Structure 1
Amino acid sequence: MKNLSRIEVFGYMFLIITFVNSLYFGFTDASLFNEHYAQEDGLVENETALMLLLVSVLSVYHLIKLWKFKKPLWKVGTLIFAILFFFAAGEEISWGQRIFGVESSEFFLQNNAQGETNLHNMVVGDTKINKLIFSQILMIVMVLYLVFVPVLYRKVRAIKNLADTFAVPIVEWRHTIAFIVCTILVSIIPADRKWEVYELAFGIIFFLIFLNPLNRHIFQKNDAAEQ
Structure 2
Amino acid sequence: MAHASFSTEHPPLAMATGLAALAAAALLSTTIFPDLGPPAERLASDIPAIRRTAEITLLEIAALRVALALGGLSLLALWAFWPRLRETAPIRWLASRPALPLSAAHVSRRSGAILLGATLLFLAWVALGGRNPALFPPVIGLEDGPVEYATALLFVIAAGLAFAASRRGPGGRYALMHLALALGFLVCAGEEISWGQRLLDYSTPATLDALNAQGEFNLHNSFGYSADHIFMAGVALYGVMLPLLARTGPAIHGAADLTGLPIASAGLALGFAAASLIHDWSVFALLPRVPMNMAEGREFLCALGFLLLMTESLSRPVQPANSAVSRAASASSP
Instruction: State the Cα deviation string for residues 16-55 of structure 1 (Å, max 9, x = none).
Output: 544433332245439955x311210111111111111111
Q: Give secondary structure in 2 for the equivalent of 1:113.
A: coil
Q: Output the CA distance in 1 between the equivalents of 2:273 and 2:108.
A: 20
Q: Which residue of 2 aligns with 1:121?
A: 221
Q: Give the percent of matched residue pairs that are identical in Structure 1 and Structure 2.
A: 26
Answer whether contact 1:74 1:167 (CA < 8 A) is retained: yes
Aligned to 1:70: 171
CA contact (8 A) 2:236 2:273 kept: no
Q: Which amino acid aligns with 1:159?
A: I
- Structure 2 gap segments, 5+ residues each: 1-104, 330-334
Show the counterpart of 1:104.
Answer: 204
Larger radius of gyration: 2
Deviations 1:64-94 (A, max 9, x none): 334xx422x2222111111111111110001
Where does the alignment leave 5 or more consecutive residues of structure 1 unmatched?
none
User: 1:30–1:91: structure 2 CA closer, same or farther, 3 Å change rule?
Assistant: farther
Cα distance change, pair 28–52 in 1 and its aligned pair in 2 (3 A):
same
Residue 29 (structure 1) aligned to one of 133, 145, 149: 133
Q: Give 3-state SS (helix, strand or coil) of 2:165's partner.
A: helix
Q: 1:178 is matched with which residue: 241, 251, 271?
A: 271
User: 1:161 aligns to what SS in structure 2?
Assistant: helix
Distance 1:173 1:4 in 2: 6
- Mark the CA change 1:157 to 1:3 in structure 2 (over 3 Å): closer, same or farther: closer
User: The residue matched to 1:97 in structure 2 has which SS?
Assistant: helix
Task: Give the structure 1 partner of residue 227 of structure 2.
Answer: 133
1:1-227, aligned counterparts within 5 Å? 1-2=105-106, 15-29=119-133, 35-66=138-169, 69-71=170-172, 73-123=173-223, 128=224, 130=225, 132-135=226-229, 137-184=230-277, 186=279, 187-189=282-284, 190-191=289-290, 193-212=293-312, 217=316, 220-224=317-321, 226=326, 227=329
- Superposition deviation, residue 143 in structure 1: 2.1
CA contact (8 A) 1:22 1:197 kept: no
Q: Which amino acid aligns with 1:157?
A: P
The number of aligned residues is 213
Greater CA drift, 73-82 or 19-28? 19-28
CA, structure 1 residues 6+152, in 2 after alignment: closer, same or farther (shift >3 Å)? Answer: closer
